[in-house]
A and B are shown apart, each in its own frame.
Chain A
């Protein structure tokens, strides 16, 4: 509760600078002779000065909320144009995926069909389930809102890379994603990366893909995903949408 102090003059308005010259002179004269009022004025001087700086909030235009929220949603849902524009430092959302056994079997079976005769030798040595992975990595977008998990397994002289993501947006017709093995020193303009293959998410936005590649993950230890415009240019010159998270 505020302590009740009797003052003899209009100190509040004096401190707020709201008195005219004559009134102000009167108060100041009083302060010269009244210790109680002087103490009260000194006590409230800083408060009055702060009050003068008070800044009221202002309601923004009504549609700003929708604009701001949809800008965030674009980022969150991985609109790649926005991801590039964001250029954020990697923000890693720890995502621990159990690698489902069913998927592994299905993946192996699908790969066996796809590789056919040519890959028959390799797959003959594949135990059917993924063996000991040489590389297991999580990929994330720059803002951490999209991710994938990948595993590279040695199969014969080559490697099988499996990639899974539920976050990659479905692309317009003609565009596709590419998965890359990335080596040291890779940068735009001077790439050091080898394509593992290209893919599309399915109609539910899920990507479960398996590629075979003759790449040593010791030499190319990182994986990235790019969005390719489908312009027939095979060179690696598109920005990364997802990147391996460094352990």
Chain B
């Protein structure tokens, strides 16, 4: 299996088709479509892993260059296009960090390839969790997003959403229950 996290079947199929078109030599629209889908995830991951905007940009670019070169090796039986892409990105990140081994790495403990890969996989999992939150019903998604993105306290959430404080507590609890199901469905939680 490739690295990364399972994604819903329709998305998986669509992205596999796009990657198939890239493998067949089309570096126009299909590749741009894959960029639209993956670039923000890769860039967010790169910022956290590499701790540097320039390197995060390089990671995105390098991933797409490598994706173009190796698209023909993609086998849908072995995993999704997204997972394939993130496996490539992980390799690129390891190579980048090895190349710049003298740089201080504020976000990566240790300097082995394995440590980098582990941190990378952990961040991929984090991206998957964030995506799962986004897939929840609005009443659950809203409260969890206000916590994640804005770190709002309960009274502030109540005020923002115009709901009683008691409802905020209930929604957070049921939001967690809904998230558990969503994570299980995505294979991120047993």
Chain B CB within 8 A of A68 CB:
yes
Contact status of A69 and B31, CB under 8 A, knowing A2-B177, A64-B61? yes
Pairwise interchain contact B148-A56, C-beta atoms closer than 8 A: yes
B8-16, B83-91, B98-106, B180-188 - interface stretch: B180-188
In the assembled complex, which residues on chain A have CB atoms less than 8 Å from the CB atom of B73?
91
Pairwise interchain contact A56-B130, C-beta atoms closer than 8 A: yes
Pairwise interchain contact A67-B61, C-beta atoms closer than 8 A: yes
CB distance from A24 to the nearest CB of B (A): 14
In the assembled complex, which residues on chain B have CB atoms less than 8 Å from the CB atom of A144?
69, 72
What separation, in Å, do the CA atoms of A76 and B24 have in the docked complex?
A: 12
CB distance from A152 to the nearest CB of B (A): 27
Chain B CB within 8 A of A226 CB:
no
Pairwise interchain contact A60-B179, C-beta atoms closer than 8 A: no
Pairwise interchain contact B144-A51, C-beta atoms closer than 8 A: yes
CB distance from B96 to the nearest CB of A (A): 15
Which among A54, A59, A76 has the greatest number of chain B C-beta atoms within 10 A? A54
Pairwise interchain contact B69-A54, C-beta atoms closer than 8 A: no
Chain B CB within 8 A of A145 CB:
yes
In the assembled complex, which residues on chain B have CB atoms less than 8 Å from the CB atom of A160?
none
Interface residues of A in 21-55 (CB under 8 A from B): 43-44, 46-48, 50-51, 53-55
Chain B CB within 8 A of A189 CB:
no
Contact status of A51 and B125, CB under 8 A, knowing A18-B154, A60-B43, A145-B25? no
Pairwise interchain contact B72-A55, C-beta atoms closer than 8 A: no
Contact status of A16 and B147, CB under 8 A, knowing A50-B129, A60-B43, A68-B61? yes
In the assembled complex, which residues on chain A have CB atoms less than 8 Å from the CB atom of B183?
47, 50
CB distance from B95 to the nearest CB of A (A): 12
Pairwise interchain contact A68-B129, C-beta atoms closer than 8 A: no
What separation, in Å, do the CA atoms of A53 and B125 have in the docked complex?
A: 8
Pairwise interchain contact B60-A73, C-beta atoms closer than 8 A: no
What separation, in Å, do the CA atoms of A88 and B179 have in the docked complex?
A: 42
Interface residues of A in 51-91 (CB under 8 A from B): 51, 53-61, 64-65, 67-69, 71-73, 75-76, 86, 88, 91
Interface residues of B in 103-129 (CB under 8 A from A): 122-123, 125-127, 129
Contact with B along A130-155 (1 / 0, CB 8 A): 00000000000001110000000000
Which among A2, A44, A144 has the greatest number of chain B C-beta atoms within 10 A? A2
- A19 nearest in chain B by CB position: B154
- Chain A, interface size category, equals 35 or more
Pairwise interchain contact A55-B31, C-beta atoms closer than 8 A: no
What separation, in Å, do the CA atoms of A15 and B176 have in the docked complex?
A: 9
Contact status of A58 and B40, CB under 8 A, knowing A47-B189, A50-B183, A69-B35? yes
CB distance from A153 to the nearest CB of B (A): 30
Pairwise interchain contact A60-B39, C-beta atoms closer than 8 A: yes
What separation, in Å, do the CA atoms of A5 and B170 have in the docked complex?
A: 10
In the assembled complex, which residues on chain A have CB atoms less than 8 Å from the CB atom of B43?
57-60, 64
In the assembled complex, which residues on chain A have CB atoms less than 8 Å from the CB atom of B126?
53-55
Pairwise interchain contact B181-A88, C-beta atoms closer than 8 A: no
Pairwise interchain contact B154-A72, C-beta atoms closer than 8 A: no
Pairwise interchain contact A76-B27, C-beta atoms closer than 8 A: yes
Chain A CB within 8 A of B57 CB:
yes
Chain B CB within 8 A of A3 CB:
yes
Contact status of A2 and B181, CB under 8 A, knowing A57-B44, A60-B56? yes
Instruction: Give A residues with C-beta under 8 Å from B.
Output: 2-3, 5, 7, 10-13, 15-16, 18, 43-44, 46-48, 50-51, 53-61, 64-65, 67-69, 71-73, 75-76, 86, 88, 91, 93, 143-145
The 7 closest A-B pairs by CB, nearest first: A55-B126, A12-B172, A57-B40, A12-B173, A58-B44, A60-B43, A47-B180
Given A58-B47, A91-B70, 20 further pairs, Cβ under 8 A: A2-B174, A11-B173, A12-B175, A13-B169, A15-B176, A47-B180, A50-B125, A50-B183, A51-B133, A53-B125, A55-B45, A55-B129, A57-B127, A60-B43, A64-B61, A67-B57, A69-B31, A69-B32, A72-B68, A143-B69
Q: List 5 A-B contacts (CB under 8 A).
A: A12-B170, A16-B176, A47-B177, A60-B43, A86-B69
